[in-house]
Amino acid sequence: MAGSTFGTIFRITTWGESHGPGIGVVIDGCPAGLDLDESVIQRDLDRRRPGQNKYTTARKEGDQAEILSGVFEGKTTGTPISILIRNQDQRSRDYGNIMELYRPGHADVTFDAKYGFRDYRGGGRSSGRETIGRVAAGAVARRLLESLGITVTAYTRSIGPVWVDDDKLDLAYASDSPLHMPDAAAEKRAQEYLDSCIRLQDSAGGTIDCIVTDLPAGLGEPVFEKLDARLAQAVMSIGAVKAVEIGAGTKAASMNGSQNNDWYEQNEEGPRKATNHSGGTLGGISDGSPLLLRASFKPTPSIAQPQQMLGRDGKCHEVSIHGRHDPVIVPRAVVVVEAMTALTIADLLLVNMAARMDHIRKIYQKQDK
Amino acid sequence: MAGSTFGTIFRITTWGESHGPGIGVVIDGCPAGLDLDESVIQRDLDRRRPGQNKYTTARKEGDQAEILSGVFEGKTTGTPISILIRNQDQRSRDYGNIMELYRPGHADVTFDAKYGFRDYRGGGRSSGRETIGRVAAGAVARRLLESLGITVTAYTRSIGPVWVDDDKLDLAYASDSPLHMPDAAAEKRAQEYLDSCIRLQDSAGGTIDCIVTDLPAGLGEPVFEKLDARLAQAVMSIGAVKAVEIGAGTKAASMNGSQNNDWYEQNEEGPRKATNHSGGTLGGISDGSPLLLRASFKPTPSIAQPQQMLGRDGKCHEVSIHGRHDPVIVPRAVVVVEAMTALTIADLLLVNMAARMDHIRKIYQKQDK
Amino acid sequence: MAGSTFGTIFRITTWGESHGPGIGVVIDGCPAGLDLDESVIQRDLDRRRPGQNKYTTARKEGDQAEILSGVFEGKTTGTPISILIRNQDQRSRDYGNIMELYRPGHADVTFDAKYGFRDYRGGGRSSGRETIGRVAAGAVARRLLESLGITVTAYTRSIGPVWVDDDKLDLAYASDSPLHMPDAAAEKRAQEYLDSCIRLQDSAGGTIDCIVTDLPAGLGEPVFEKLDARLAQAVMSIGAVKAVEIGAGTKAASMNGSQNNDWYEQNEEGPRKATNHSGGTLGGISDGSPLLLRASFKPTPSIAQPQQMLGRDGKCHEVSIHGRHDPVIVPRAVVVVEAMTALTIADLLLVNMAARMDHIRKIYQKQDK
Amino acid sequence: MAGSTFGTIFRITTWGESHGPGIGVVIDGCPAGLDLDESVIQRDLDRRRPGQNKYTTARKEGDQAEILSGVFEGKTTGTPISILIRNQDQRSRDYGNIMELYRPGHADVTFDAKYGFRDYRGGGRSSGRETIGRVAAGAVARRLLESLGITVTAYTRSIGPVWVDDDKLDLAYASDSPLHMPDAAAEKRAQEYLDSCIRLQDSAGGTIDCIVTDLPAGLGEPVFEKLDARLAQAVMSIGAVKAVEIGAGTKAASMNGSQNNDWYEQNEEGPRKATNHSGGTLGGISDGSPLLLRASFKPTPSIAQPQQMLGRDGKCHEVSIHGRHDPVIVPRAVVVVEAMTALTIADLLLVNMAARMDHIRKIYQKQDK
């Protein structure tokens, strides 16, 4: 398996299991001269940290990031940035009873099939804690994008049956709210729905939308490294994501061309897109309008009610899983979607620098020629 | 731009524009000893060929594949397989009037933004003809998979508002039918819908489902090269795709954990999955059950009715586009979805060989040790 | 096998066997807006063409390059550039008698070991004709470098025991001379030496030096993609190369630090290197002085005198090989060394653009910020 | 810069500076089920550790490896293996006086040119300590190879003018001797030579040979990922290496074909190579005979005698460098050459598994088919 690396120029490699000594990431290819210290990373790690309210797992972890290399006197040096987060609260005895069982909806059965055995403590590498490396690296990518004026913002669009309407999107509200939902009324309904899930020993899924603003036109490398294709890989690689949509997404399939084609309206500063069904990308290249994507998350597979489970003995068993699990992972995944989006865009931004001879001349041509 | 290569071990590089001398692909990493000749490739190319009925463009192309390397005496040699398809019917004068315009829903504007200029004849590299290289390579990947008993089958699930129901799936019917829809009654309604689109000088979108059977468990490389993540990239990289779903897809977001978790039932041969909401993958690794994915295609952006277009002059213009375009591209894209799926699986199948020491010993350990 | 691709951003994929329909290369990632037509490629192909004098094989080939994609109205478009050279003179019957034998010094035995069988006609993919794709792509890389004022020049430094002294280097003479040796007197001795090899049905090896001038400082990506490491891979990948040296090369091993350290002398324009033992690279990054490398080529393994050969039957056989072979390949390999050097540098030049935040701001930062 | 990753399937990413918090490596793609614990890694780290005798730097470091992930109950799990070595003895004040100077033969000048500034403490990323990550990962690769019976052994072939003759190679002696030279008499002369270098405040270079035995035939991926090409990159990427030779190396250039072609002699067990000028590779693929490579190291650039140095002010300065430096780095680099060789071979061994359909059938074909 060599699947832990993502990116061509801005390239990350994540590592770590939920119950091993730690979790981390190496960022190779971050340009030199970017302001960076641990607080930048800590801010995003804190946003995904468990134990914040009753809808997230009670596991307590400090999740303190330590930068081990690649930063000198507050700036990136161009060399690999290694970030380490020690695991602290590893009650692995909780998982003893599932050593010989394949939990429904978990990767237990497939890790055994692929590798012949597995680290069964809390999901090992397929645990949600794996995303810590992504978030730490994503914070660095975001810092790079922000220095160019590009912002990446995700929020909870739905939880179970509760959706936020298009005309209610209050992103400022979502940034600090418990479920990161951009509409207080919808969020209240979602909380009531989650309360009922908890009562029923069940769990819920949901959707996360992400928007990128002030993205330069030209990013994305046809035909396999298109902006939308790379984002689809990046976001689908997050555990529990079952669908990725760009712009109008699945709705585009039932539209007519005359509806779906975005059109331009003339305003004072010149033509601008009046609609954005394309979601900011045409032919796999950013068009300068906001990038829009949506990820659908399945409900948390770990639920307290008894379930039929396949055993390593090849038989079915009815078992209740104990342990600490979120009734919904969507609110904590908001920062993970942002991270994967920021990482994809940072990489394609650097790759695109070499697309044109005039870019190259800007960097290399001597003044006097 | 170096985005024309896909795959780690079974690796393809496509090239070619719609109105240049030809289109092609180089397959590097195809194992030696696979039976292959041009008829294998031709069969799939013929399935995507235009001019088959009134719902596809009238452009006539033989699209004859020539194998230029990598095959000797009917078998692959392990060296790169280069496949060339000459372009024949290149009425580029049809496109003269859009040289200075950015067609809505096309990549004209973004290619100009990225590269500073573009080959404006028929879309250049962003034309649908770009998929010829994918289909040719996909036919080789499919041959490899079939030699191991793995089948890849896609079909039209919906066109515009017309959907095929779950209980009506007749895949044998779909393989030869005009719209590749697995239900004759739905297909008739879809044809009527397309007739109305043509009358209104408009176009339609739709969805394609793909199923892979007899896939071994264990394929997919966590955490970024997961089976579902690589499929999402592969399928989203097809022009006009706006959403990729795995298994229950977007529906998973509104389910509860107790509904969405697949359960096993005991039958004579042992436990087997009674549901398949996961779509054959858990933790990004195949679980041995059928792989299920869905792609949503936007409607063909080229429509005959007059539209507002942005010009290179920075102004809006109302123009009608002439040329030959399909009212719907979904039926012709069925084989493209199969190709990208087959290419992804063939690559991950080869990559997975190195996942376990016992695999390695099978290949390298001497008998007497 | 997926080893036919070289480069990260400026990335080439070569294909083709000596006796198949053709040979070619796909260049992906060449920046848009570079002046290019077939004459640029043809010039370098003509320099490696056989049949130029009695020291090169009598095989006659036009080796005409056809550009199939990626160029529009005399400029690269940023999309893949596919180049095809048809094979014309394929007297494969000459090779019939070695179908069951492994020629000494050839890859026959290893191709059989790796792939289970091989295309035995003229060496297949391990033939010297494989370098045609490298040379065609190298011509494009060289054009890119030349547009920035960077020149890549190789020449024959030795043939058998005949060496050109440091104080006799007349590179202008070498560019058109029969053996590409930069000293007419040495070249005459080398020709006499080759005449004696021909008489004795034997062959000779030699060395090629390559110099790159006006290379910007900063190219090379520590620690595995260093400039010298990538050049070593590139040049060692040429068939028959057995050693690659940078700067002082093997001689550095017997020097003292006080001798080997390059020192700077003060002249009117400021300090400049008085020696160049480093060969233009320190820590794997170009230092702005000329890049110097040397490749050692083994003698042509195909010789007319009878030799002991291993057979597929596992026994030894004494056999004379017929066919057309050069008594020395070094003069024809000069352009191949240039090509591999140019390809390596072009790629690292593009990769380096993303090394610093100030480069990135030059490309992306809006004027008014 | 994204140059810190090496390998396609068995892929390592190193990180860390000499005077930061630590040094480390992430190994992604190590097969599951390999026996591994920290002692395996520690053994090789101890072989490169400084402070062992008067010929190596007096810097004292424990260099204790900690495995942070990827190993469970004494076996690799198939997930990334992260290894951390904390830096302990960081007397960075020693380097204060060279903050504004470019030390001759060091990467100071090129790091500044590439990144705009540098971590000047002890060379930062271009320090010899960077090799710790290589050695830690190399120990894991070696463990994998040894489990298949493949051994990788390097030794000092020369120091300054002192060479070990072909008929004196006592590899068992070299494994524990102070300079890792396989001939006690030569080693004694080398020690006397180094004593004189120390007296003269100067340094020496040397060469390291590496041999790989019991290597299966078939490894190496033509045409750019050939075994010799990948080894050349791997070994040239070690700081201070200026030449890489395979088999006969530079000597091949002055041989005739009839001398250089290896021939087979018939013995009881069948034909076997009587000579090994090829060094175990033909056409870039291993032939089953021992692999032979040689690396030439330049003398340590840090010497105590006063030298002319370029300053950041653009002027020349005569300065003596203080600090702790080895008079020769060759003995400590022996294990680094082994590490890079083992890493290259482990990767190509895994990549080669997919070269043939019969390999693939061995892994995937069901028994009853």
pLDDT at C90: 59
For residue B71, the distance in angstroms to the closest alpha carbon of chain C comes to: 8
Does the pLDDT of residue C62 top 90, yes or no?
A: no
User: Could you tell me the CA-to-CA distances from A82 to A39, D85, D333 in Å, in that order?
Assistant: 15, 12, 25
Tens of pLDDT, residues B339-361: 999 999 999 999 999 999 999 99
- Give the mean pLDDT of D1-25: 94
Partnered with residue A271 across adjacent β-strands are A266
Contact (Cβ atoms closer than 8 angstroms) between residue D221 and residue D351 = yes
Nearest to A37 by CA among A4, A67, A16: A67
Band the pLDDT of B110: cuts 50, 70, 90.
very high
- Give the mean pLDDT of D247-255: 98
Tell me which chain C residue has its CA closest to the CA of residue D356.
Answer: C115
What DSSP letter does each residue of C297-362 carry, written as one string? EPPPS--SS-EEEEETTSSEEEE---S---S--HHHHHHHHHHHHHHHHHHHHHHHGGGBHHHHHH
pLDDT at D119: 81
Q: Are D148 and B361 an interchain contact pair (Cβ–Cβ within 8 Å)?
A: yes
Does the pLDDT of residue B277 top 80, yes or no?
A: yes
Q: Are A354 and C350 an interchain contact pair (Cβ–Cβ within 8 Å)?
A: yes
pLDDT at C99: 81
pLDDT at A51: 52
Q: For all residues of chain C together, what is the average pLDDT?
A: 92
For residue C210, the distance in angstroms to the closest alpha carbon of chain D comes to: 15
For residue B207, the distance in angstroms to the closest alpha carbon of chain D comes to: 32
Q: Are B22 and C69 an interchain contact pair (Cβ–Cβ within 8 Å)?
A: yes
Band the pLDDT of C248: cuts 50, 70, 90.
very high
Q: Are B256 and A116 an interchain contact pair (Cβ–Cβ within 8 Å)?
A: no
Tens of pLDDT, residues D200-220: 999 999 999 999 999 999 999
DSSP state of D37: -
Of residues A321 and A327, the one with the higher pLDDT is A327
Neighbors of chain C with 3 or more C-beta pairs under 8 Å: A, B, D
For residue C80, the distance in angstroms to the closest alpha carbon of chain A comes to: 10
* Minimal Cβ distance to D31: which of B33, B354, B365: B354
Q: Are C105 and D283 an interchain contact pair (Cβ–Cβ within 8 Å)?
A: no
Q: Are D68 and A24 an interchain contact pair (Cβ–Cβ within 8 Å)?
A: yes
Tens of pLDDT, residues C29-42: 999 999 999 999 99
User: What whole-number percentage of chain D has pLDDT above 70?
Assistant: 93
Tell me which chain B residue has its CA closest to the CA of residue C30.
Answer: B1
Q: For all residues of chain A together, what is the average pLDDT?
A: 92
Tell me which chain A residue has its CA closest to the CA of residue C143.
Answer: A357
Band the pLDDT of C118: cuts 50, 70, 90.
confident
ipTM of the modeled complex: 0.96
Does the pLDDT of residue A48 top 70, yes or no?
A: yes
Q: For all residues of chain B together, what is the average pLDDT?
A: 92
pLDDT at A97: 67
Band the pLDDT of C124: cuts 50, 70, 90.
confident
pLDDT at C146: 98
- Give the mean pLDDT of C260-289: 91
Band the pLDDT of B90: cuts 50, 70, 90.
low
Does the pLDDT of residue D57 top 80, yes or no?
A: no
Task: Return the beta strands (E) in B17-72 as ranges.
Answer: 22-28, 65-67, 71-72
| C-alpha to C-alpha distance for D304 and D320, rounded to whole angstroms | 6
pLDDT at B60: 54
Band the pLDDT of A216: cuts 50, 70, 90.
very high
Q: Are B149 and D366 an interchain contact pair (Cβ–Cβ within 8 Å)?
A: yes
- In this predicted structure, which of A88-102, B81-95, B320-334, D280-294 has the lowest mean pLDDT? A88-102
Q: Are B82 and C24 an interchain contact pair (Cβ–Cβ within 8 Å)?
A: yes
Q: Are B298 and A110 an interchain contact pair (Cβ–Cβ within 8 Å)?
A: no
Band the pLDDT of A368: cuts 50, 70, 90.
very low
Q: Which residues of C touch D138 (CB under 8 A)?
A: none
Does the pLDDT of residue D226 top 90, yes or no?
A: yes
Number of Cβ pairs < 8 A linking chain A and chain B: 375
- Give the mean pLDDT of A282-290: 97
Tell me which chain A residue has its CA closest to the CA of residue B230.
Answer: A233
Does the pLDDT of residue C240 top 90, yes or no?
A: yes
Interface test with A, best of D12, D68, D92 (most A CBs within 10 A): D68
- Give the mean pLDDT of B228-257: 98
| C-alpha to C-alpha distance for A330 and A332, rounded to whole angstroms | 5
Of residues B369 and A188, the one with the higher pLDDT is A188
- Give the mean pLDDT of D320-347: 92
Of residues C183 and D128, the one with the higher pLDDT is C183
* Minimal Cβ distance to D31: which of B31, B349, B357: B357
| C-alpha to C-alpha distance for C20 and C36, rounded to whole angstroms | 27
Tens of pLDDT, residues B6-24: 999 999 999 999 889 999 9
Q: Which CATH superfamily is A5-364 part of?
A: Chorismate synthase AroC (3.60.150.10)
pLDDT at A324: 67
Q: Are A15 and D124 an interchain contact pair (Cβ–Cβ within 8 Å)?
A: no
Nearest to C70 by CA among C18, C32, C39: C32
Tell me which chain C residue has its CA closest to the CA of residue A29.
Answer: C355
Q: Are C16 and B82 an interchain contact pair (Cβ–Cβ within 8 Å)?
A: yes
- Give the mean pLDDT of C281-302: 97
Token pair recorded at residue D84: 């951390």
* Minimal Cβ distance to D105: which of C236, C261, C284: C261
Q: Which residues of C touch B20 (CB under 8 A)?
A: 68-69
Q: Which residues of B touch D32 (CB under 8 A)?
A: 355-357
* Minimal Cβ distance to A78: which of D77, D79, D115: D115
Torsion of CA B36, B343, C15, B60, to 10 degrees: 80
Nearest to C181 by CA among C195, C194, C192, C191: C191
Task: Return the beta strands (E) in B10-62 as ranges.
Answer: 11-16, 22-28
For residue B8, the distance in angstroms to the closest alpha carbon of chain D comes to: 8
| C-alpha to C-alpha distance for D247 and B368, rounded to whole angstroms | 30
Band the pLDDT of C130: cuts 50, 70, 90.
very high
pLDDT at C368: 47
| C-alpha to C-alpha distance for B79 and B70, rounded to whole angstroms | 5
User: What whole-number percentage of chain A has pLDDT above 70?
Assistant: 93
Neighbors of chain A with 3 or more C-beta pairs under 8 Å: B, C, D
Does the pLDDT of residue A146 top 60, yes or no?
A: yes
Q: For all residues of chain D together, what is the average pLDDT?
A: 92
For residue D211, the distance in angstroms to the closest alpha carbon of chain C comes to: 16
pLDDT at A308: 87
Q: Which residues of D touch C239 (CB under 8 A)?
A: 283-284
- Give the mean pLDDT of A87-100: 67
* Minimal Cβ distance to D130: which of C113, C197, C223: C223
Band the pLDDT of C98: cuts 50, 70, 90.
confident
Residue appearing with tokens 């994503």: A138
User: What whole-number percentage of chain D has pLDDT above 90?
Assistant: 77
Q: Which residues of A touch C358 (CB under 8 A)?
A: 33
- Give the mean pLDDT of A111-131: 88
For residue D344, the distance in angstroms to the closest alpha carbon of chain B comes to: 15
pLDDT at D253: 98
- Give the mean pLDDT of C209-215: 98
Q: Are B350 and D349 an interchain contact pair (Cβ–Cβ within 8 Å)?
A: no
Interface test with A, best of C77, C348, C360 (most A CBs within 10 A): C360
DSSP state of D318: E
* Minimal Cβ distance to A355: which of C32, C351, C362: C32
Residue appearing with tokens 């810069």: D1
For residue A191, the distance in angstroms to the closest alpha carbon of chain D comes to: 37
pLDDT at C57: 57
Q: Are A33 and D115 an interchain contact pair (Cβ–Cβ within 8 Å)?
A: yes
Band the pLDDT of C132: cuts 50, 70, 90.
very high
Task: Return the beta strands (E) in A78-228 as ranges.
Answer: 81-86, 101-102, 151-159, 162-163, 206-213
- In this predicted structure, which of A97-111, A334-348, B197-211, C5-19 has the lowest mean pLDDT? A97-111
* Minimal Cβ distance to C82: which of B11, B16, B32: B16
Q: Which residues of C touch D6 (CB under 8 A)?
A: 224
Phi and psi torsions of B4, nearest 5°: -95, 10
Tens of pLDDT, residues A24-37: 999 999 999 999 99
Tell me which chain A residue has its CA closest to the CA of residue D363.
Answer: A114
Contact (Cβ atoms closer than 8 angstroms) between residue B106 and residue A222 = no
Give the DSSP H/E element, type plus range, for residue D225: none
- Give the mean pLDDT of C202-215: 98
